[in-house]
């Protein structure tokens, strides 16, 4: 049988490995060029790429940790570890990438310097644009495969797997940062205003802070117990309500325990059953039907309310 979750996990790994390889090459080139030219914007871009490398490693680490089986202390598994490490990624983008770039830019505005052969800067920025562009295309291809009719923003808000859209947002920020760095270096050189290079660094830092806030908010929502998607909840509701032995159901409560793990708890009022054995069989049947709704549904709990059990022979 084809494993949908395995395929999705493999695709997520591919997206991250492509981004990791690209950023290692880009970071090396940026730091060498920053040392040659003294460009603050290029140094900020180097910091940005280093943050991206660390973030890719953190996401891979989180994916591996989240796949550990359930144990006594974690009866529902370790799926939320991925959400924790995604939040750490957001913090690193904010603190290391954003704040450091702003600080370095402010320093270079006060002490503007721009030297060396700027052709190096332009060449490296072009190389980085190609590599980041390819990585972005890979992540966007994976997003298009899974987002359906949702817009990109809706996908980011509703997705239960932060790995792919985190890479996509970082790649998008990389390309925007490259454009800002190019303009800062070019205008600073042509207008003989080297302090514009520091302005470019600050602009890149502000961009990273904005990306970090979005990533942090989405990871926080998943970490503290976000529900499953609305379409999935509505489908579960219809499946349970349509069962011939169900009189009424209360609220369908769900919690996302990981990208591919959902907990479901439903308050159910059953129609009169002939025996306790019949009631138990009904509960097992409904639980199986709920699990069949989606492979991500791993834990199902039915809370029986106002049970009407008619024992045989009474």
Domain count, the chain: 2
Write the Ramachandran bin of 225: left for phi over 0, alpha for psi from -120 to 50, otherwise beta: left
The CA distance from 201 to 44, in Å, is 6
Task: Look at the block and give the residue holding tokens 């290029």.
Answer: 42
**The last residue of a domain, from among 223, 247, 267:** 223
Computed over every residue of the chain, the mean pLDDT equals: 84
User: Does a structural domain hold residue 13?
Assistant: yes
The CA distance from 198 to 110, in Å, is 9
- Residue 204's pLDDT is 83
Same domain flag for 11 and 143: yes
Band (pLDDT 50/70/90 cuts) for residue 312 is very low
Same domain flag for 219 and 242: no
**The last residue of a domain, from among 169, 203, 223:** 223
Q: Is 159 exposed, middle or buried (0-12, 13-18, 19+ CB in 10 A)?
A: buried
Query: Is residue 4 pLDDT above 80, yes or no?
Result: no
- Residue 309's pLDDT is 43
Same domain flag for 50 and 182: yes
User: Does a structural domain hold residue 269?
Assistant: yes
Same domain flag for 19 and 138: yes
User: Does a structural domain hold residue 314?
Assistant: no
**The last residue of a domain, from among 223, 257, 283:** 223
Same domain flag for 37 and 55: yes
Phi, psi for residue 226 in degrees, rounded to 5: -70, 145
Same domain flag for 178 and 50: yes
- Residue 256's pLDDT is 94
* CATH code, domain carrying 252: 3.30.70.1350
User: Does a structural domain hold residue 310?
Assistant: no
Same domain flag for 107 and 184: yes
Query: Is residue 93 pLDDT above 60, yes or no?
Result: yes
The CA distance from 298 to 128, in Å, is 42
Same domain flag for 196 and 280: no
Same domain flag for 215 and 247: no
The CA distance from 199 to 257, in Å, is 43
User: Does a structural domain hold residue 309?
Assistant: no
Query: Is residue 152 pLDDT above 60, yes or no?
Result: yes
User: Does a structural domain hold residue 35?
Assistant: yes
Q: Mind listing the pLDDT tens digit for each residue in 260-299? A: 899 999 999 888 877 888 888 899 999 999 999 999 999 9
The CA distance from 184 to 41, in Å, is 7
Query: Is residue 313 pLDDT above 70, yes or no?
Result: no
- Residue 294's pLDDT is 93
The CA distance from 145 to 17, in Å, is 18
Question: How, if at all, do strands 246-258 and 261-270 pair?
Answer: antiparallel
SS3 269: strand
Q: Mind listing the pLDDT tens digit for each residue in 154-204? A: 888 888 888 888 888 888 888 888 888 888 888 888 888 888 878 888 888
Write out the two tokens for 252. Answer: 């369908």
Contact 174, 49 (CB under 8 A): yes
Same domain flag for 206 and 250: no
User: Does a structural domain hold residue 170?
Assistant: yes
- Residue 116's pLDDT is 58
What is the DSSP code (8-state) at residue 172? H
Domain extent, residue 253, equals 230-304
Same domain flag for 217 and 297: no
User: Does a structural domain hold residue 47?
Assistant: yes
Same domain flag for 12 and 150: yes
Query: Is residue 307 pLDDT above 50, yes or no?
Result: no
Which residues sit opposite 299 in a β-bridge?
Answer: 263
Q: Is 265 exposed, middle or buried (0-12, 13-18, 19+ CB in 10 A)?
A: middle
Strand ranges (E), the chain: 246-258, 261-270, 297-304
């Amino acid at each position: 049988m084809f494993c949908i979750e395995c395929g999705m996990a493999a695709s997520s790994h591919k997206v991250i490995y492509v981004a990791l390889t690209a950023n290692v090459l880009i970071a090396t080139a940026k730091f060498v060029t920053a040392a040659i030219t003294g460009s603050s914007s290029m140094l900020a871009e180097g910091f940005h790429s280093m943050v991206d490398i660390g973030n890719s490693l953190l996401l891979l680490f989180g994916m591996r940790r989240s796949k550990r089986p359930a144990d006594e202390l974690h009866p529902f598994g370790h799926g939320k570890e991925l959400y924790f490490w995604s939040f750490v990624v957001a913090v690193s983008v904010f603190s290391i990438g954003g704040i450091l770039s702003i600080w370095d830019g402010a320093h270079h505005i006060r002490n503007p310097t721009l030297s060396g052969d700027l052709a190096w800067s332009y060449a490296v920025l072009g190389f980085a644009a190609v590599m980041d562009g390819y990585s972005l295309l890979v992540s966007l291809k994976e997003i298009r495969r899974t987002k359906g009719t949702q817009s990109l923003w809706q996908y980011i808000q509703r997705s239960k797997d932060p790995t792919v859209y985190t890479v996509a947002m970082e790649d998008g920020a990389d390309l925007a940062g490259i454009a800002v760095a190019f303009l800062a270096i070019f205008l600073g050189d042509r207008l003989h205003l080297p302090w514009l290079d520091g302005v470019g660094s600050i602009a890149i830092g502000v961009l990273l802070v904005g990306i970090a806030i979005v990533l942090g908010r989405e990871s926080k929502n998943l970490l503290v117990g976000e529900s499953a998607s609305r379409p999935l909840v509505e489908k579960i509701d219809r499946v349970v309500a349509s069962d011939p032995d169900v009189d009424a159901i209360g609220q369908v409560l769900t919690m996302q325990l990981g990208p591919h793990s959902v907990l479901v708890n439903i308050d159910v009022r059953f129609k009169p059953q002939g025996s306790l054995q019949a009631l138990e069989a009904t509960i097992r049947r409904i639980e199986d039907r709920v699990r069949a709704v989606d492979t991500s549904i791993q834990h199902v709990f039915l809370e029986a309310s106002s049970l009407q059990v008619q024992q045989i022979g009474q």
